[in-house]
Chains A and B, each alone.
Chain A
Amino acid sequence: MAPSSSLHRFANPARFLRLAAVVQPWAAGLTIAALIAGLYLGLIASPGDYQQGETVRIMYIHVPSAWMALFCYTNMALASAVALIWRHPLADVIAKATAPIGACFTFLALVTGSLWGKPMWGTWWVWDARLTSVLILFFLYLGYMALYNAFDDATRGARAAAVLALVGVVNVPIIKFSVDWWNTLHQPASVVKLDGPAIHPSMLWPLLLMALAFTTYYVWVLLLRVRAELIGRRVRAIRLRQTQVR
């Protein structure tokens, strides 16, 4: 029981709440610091691209949002798997709290990509493999949230949504490798490559700082949402007990 007990130590909601209260201000502070530094480097201190000009600065929002869209989905699927296998209420809350954040990141990635595509490709939207698969990801997030709230019995909704999240995992590798498998207008990966990033450091640094800011923002908002959900459940339980006493 040793490994599972060490894992389950953090899964106790009361202990989680205490830990979250400590971590949350740090995540918030780190988000603000990294956001200021990343925006300064990205918008002011870094050079424009020799081909793309100033529009390259959209990438400092677009690329981290796209990363986060996939990261949030993977997290949601992992939490859903834990919730289904070990029947863990906290994992369920985390999956539920992740969905709207991930949907927002996906939406941001689609919108910024579209804004960048108009001056660069001459069109707001093309039906290539990367864009289409990210659009499907967005619909998966919407479907997850709709399914979660479609049942009168909340646990049934949570389980059905968890199964859907696991089914949708097939889309994650498709998004990642869509630019390699198909000949697309969207450019292939240039940061995470075997032979090192193909980006000049003056552009890589703001990108990485923004990615850090987005990740800590996710942690911050996730903790906020999970705490609110746990407190809300407790309030509901107390109300229920009070009405029964009367």
Chain B
Amino acid sequence: MNRFAAILGRDLRLAVRQGVDSLMVVAFFVLAVVLFPFGVGPEPGVLARIAPGVIWVAALLAAMLSLERLFQADHEDGSLELMALEPVALESVVLAKVAAHWLTTGLPLIVAAPLLAILLNLPVEGFAVLLLALLLGTPTLSLIGAVGAALILGARRGGVLLSLLVLPLFIPVLIFGAAAVEASLGGFPARPHLLILAALLLAALPLCTWAAAGALRQGLE
């Protein structure tokens, strides 16, 4: 637990001191969403109809954008190997780095989401569900992404490869995340969708941590 807190604290400090990096992810998120009114036309009805999906897709892409650096910097300067030599499970290192990634990218995305929902004319009834769905869904994205980030360590053109590996696995989160908001707008209960998102998170928590640690061990040999 001590090591977990130490790595989490270190990553958060690094993120704060290089503050622009995590802000850039949010800027990408906002820009990507803002492109849609230009692409499909500024009609409020159309925008409200596509808002949940657009916000989710943009969040997915923004979360993926920052994943490449999740282990790479530590891999390049050798600190990842030192962490692997510690007498604690590599899984706890992975979990700490995923938690730091979510706090520095997932959480800012959630904070920026209401603003984008207003820009896209999303009805107010959908706001709470959108935030709740993002709160349950984005940690899963960080967890799945950690597996991809661990797999591409040392690969040529890792960034493009990462999107090929990770985006198909993001699809379930996207489906239920967008469906929860759509359900609440259509007057249906959003609870089943949110429960499935929670289930995905609970399944990803042990499985992805384990798989990412396994991938790191293979990469460090």
Binding site for B on A (CB under 8 A): 84, 132, 136, 139-140, 142-143, 146-147, 150-153, 156-157, 159-160, 162-164, 166-168, 170
Contact = CB atoms under 8 A, between A and B. Distances in A.
Nearest to A158: B218
Contacts of A170: 207
Contact of B165 (A152, A153, A157, A164): A164
Interface stretch (B2-10, B74-82, B112-120, B151-159): B151-159
Nearest to B215: A163
A140 to B, nearest CB: 6
A146 B158 CA distance: 11
Given A152-B156, A159-B218, A136 B168 contact: yes
Nearest to A155: B221
Interface string B150-193: 01101111100100110111010001000000000000000000
Contacts of A157: 155
A132 B171 contact: yes
Contacts of B42: none
B214 interface: yes
A166 B208 CA distance: 11
Contacts of B215: 160, 163
Nearest to A152: B156
B218 A156 contact: yes
B165 A143 contact: yes
30 contacts: A84-B218, A132-B171, A139-B164, A140-B168, A143-B165, A143-B168, A146-B165, A147-B152, A147-B161, A150-B157, A150-B158, A151-B154, A151-B156, A156-B154, A156-B218, A156-B219, A159-B219, A160-B151, A160-B155, A160-B218, A160-B219, A163-B147, A163-B151, A163-B211, A163-B214, A163-B215, A164-B151, A164-B165, A168-B169, A170-B207
